[in-house]
Amino acid sequence: MNKHNGLKPGNTRTVDEITSGRRLRRMRKAAWSRRLVQENHLRVDDLIWPIFLIEGEGQQEPVEAMPGVSRYSVDLAVRQVELAAKLGIPAIATFPNVDVASRDGQGTAILDPNNLINRATRAFKDAVPEVGIITDVALDPFTDHGHDGILRDGVVINDETVKQIAHAAVLQASAGADVIAPSDMMDGRVGAIRDALDSNGFQDVAILSYATKFASAFYGPYREAIGTSGLLKGDKNTYYISAANTDEAMREVEQDLEEGADMVMIKPGLPYLDIIRRIKDAFAMPTFAYQVSGEYSMIKAAEANGWLDGKQAMMESLLAFKRAGCDGVFTYFAPEVAKHLRS
Ligand code: PBG
């Protein structure tokens, strides 16, 4: 009897008898054996780099809420895409910070063949044709209310928005986009985009659907980056999925695949690893996660405070996506990761 708590000491069997000799630590004891048994790997081939654009020339503006991330005018953004090519990053995704004067209630400027996104795509394809260009097709950078759709009497109008983004997708494809990525969560948009692309001769332009996009607080820094944070009225709960729902996310993916999506995305990433795993297991389709702005900024902020090792947290968080079943990840860390993996 232990005189302090009255319990018997539990030393009747040896540890060897308990484990029957199965000691999992054997393979962890040296770097070489840890390398041999490593199940998942993060590679440069897994990275998609989101890049923010601004008007002008020779402009680089740091995004305050995202240390290490800037918005670039098209000429300087070309240098970033060249860097992506040099680092072996397969694809980039563009997000425009449109001049406030060009924004309106309908997001009309998305239909300008020479808007910031389309000019950037042409410049990138001209300079670095081998890097994949993924263009986001959603109204939020172009509306003066920050919503992803046409807003009337406080309601985001589904079908009119779908018509407009299908048209915008064709313009993006004409500018040279390789992949169209609708991020707006309107119903029926993948099918409408597929039809519009096909009937305009863009059968080979792919669709990466933001199929499961959750109403999330983690988009905060992004809204500063594209300049919608001051504009957004209300929230996006009437079109993004509730963070509480899993089955509904499955139905979104099923629907988008039926409508012709080539790849699907889960967004945000780290808080939704369960959704990634379920989707990959059920559909076995190319599956991507977006490690969104808030996920990036949290790591950067903790690192800046000396609370954790930022590099390690970056690599661990990205490896988690691979473990959950992702084929690749949208991440603002892309160039940093690529450099790290090469060193
Ligand atoms: C909206 C859109 C969002 C992001 C990209 N496109 C979400 C939003 O503002 O509601 C978020 C990206 C990020 O947080 O990194 N079409």
What is the signed CA dihedral for 175, 181, 185, 188, rounded to 10 degrees? 70
Per-residue model confidence as pLDDT tens digits over 184-241: 999 999 999 999 999 999 999 999 999 999 999 999 999 999 988 888 988 999 999 9
Whether residue 284 lies inside any domain: the answer is yes
3-state DSSP helix/strand/coil percent for the chain, to nearest 5?
Answer: 45, 20, 35
For residue 261, being part of any structural domain is answered with yes
Residue 96 covered by a domain: yes
Average pLDDT over residues 272-291: 98
Atom of ligand 1 nearest to the CA of 183: 16
Q: Is there a domain that residue 17 lies in?
A: no
* Domain around 336: 44-342
Q: Please tell me the residue having the least CA distance from ligand 1 atom 8.
A: 219
Q: What is the DSSP letter of 241?
A: B
Which pLDDT score, from 0 to 100, does residue 128 have? 98
- Is 240 touching ligand 1 by the criterion CB < 6 Å? no
Question: d(Cα 183, Cα 201) in Å, to the nearest integer?
Answer: 23
Spatial contact of 149 and 188, defined as CB atoms under 8 Å apart: no
Which of 198, 213, 214, 330 minimizes the C-alpha distance to 260?
A: 198
143-189 pLDDT, tens digit per residue, is 999 999 999 999 999 999 999 999 999 999 999 999 999 999 999 99
Distance from the alpha carbon of residue 239 to the mean position of ligand 1, in angstroms: 13
Query: What is the whole-number distance in angstroms between the Cα of residue 221 and the centre of ligand 1?
Result: 9
The DSSP result for 160-198, as a single string, is HHHHHHHHHHHHHHHHT-SEEEE-S--TTHHHHHHHHHH
Counting residues of the chain whose pLDDT is more than 70, the rounded percentage is 98
Helix, strand or coil for residue 226?
A: coil
| Burial of 307 from C-beta contacts in 10 A (0-12 / 13-18 / 19+) | exposed
pLDDT tens-digit series, residues 18-68:
998 899 999 999 999 999 999 999 999 999 999 999 999 999 999 999 999
pLDDT at 8 over 90: no
- State the pLDDT at residue 4: 67
Pick the residue whose CA is nearest to atom 10 on ligand 1: 219
Residue 343 has a pLDDT of: 87
CATH number at residue 256: 3.20.20.70
Task: Give the pLDDT mean for 76-95.
Answer: 98
pTM of structure: 0.95
- Ligand 1 binding pocket includes 138 (Cβ within 6 Å): yes
Q: Angle of helix 116-127 relative to helix 74-87, nearest 10 degrees?
A: 40
Q: What is the mean pLDDT of the chain?
A: 96
Does a structural domain hold residue 64?
A: yes
Count of structural domains, the chain: 1
Sorting pLDDT into bands at 50, 70 and 90, what band is 102?
very high
Whether residue 168 lies inside any domain: the answer is yes
Mean pLDDT of 307-314: 98
Task: Name the band, by pLDDT with cuts 50, 70 and 90, for residue 6.
Answer: confident
Which ligand 1 atom minimizes the distance to the CA of 50? 15
66 alpha carbon – ligand 1 mean position (Å): 14
Looking from the CA of residue 236, the nearest atom of ligand 1 is 10
Task: Using alpha carbons, select from 143, 136, 175 the residue that is nearest to residue 330.
Answer: 136
Q: Which residue carries 């072996």 as its tokens?
A: 88
Residue 11: is its pLDDT beyond 90? no
Query: Does 36 reside within a domain?
Result: no
DSSP code string of 268-323: S-GGGHHHHHHHHHHH-S-EEEEE-HHHHHHHHHHHHTTSS-HHHHHHHHHHHHHH
Q: Return the pLDDT at 92.
A: 98
Whether residue 12 is contained in a domain is answered as no
Residue 5, pLDDT above cutoff 80: no
Q: What are the two backbone dihedrals, phi and then psi, of residue 92, each rounded to the nearest 5 degrees?
A: -125, 160
Q: If you measure from the C-alpha of residue 14 to the centroid of ligand 1, how many angstroms do you get, rounded to a whole number?
A: 56
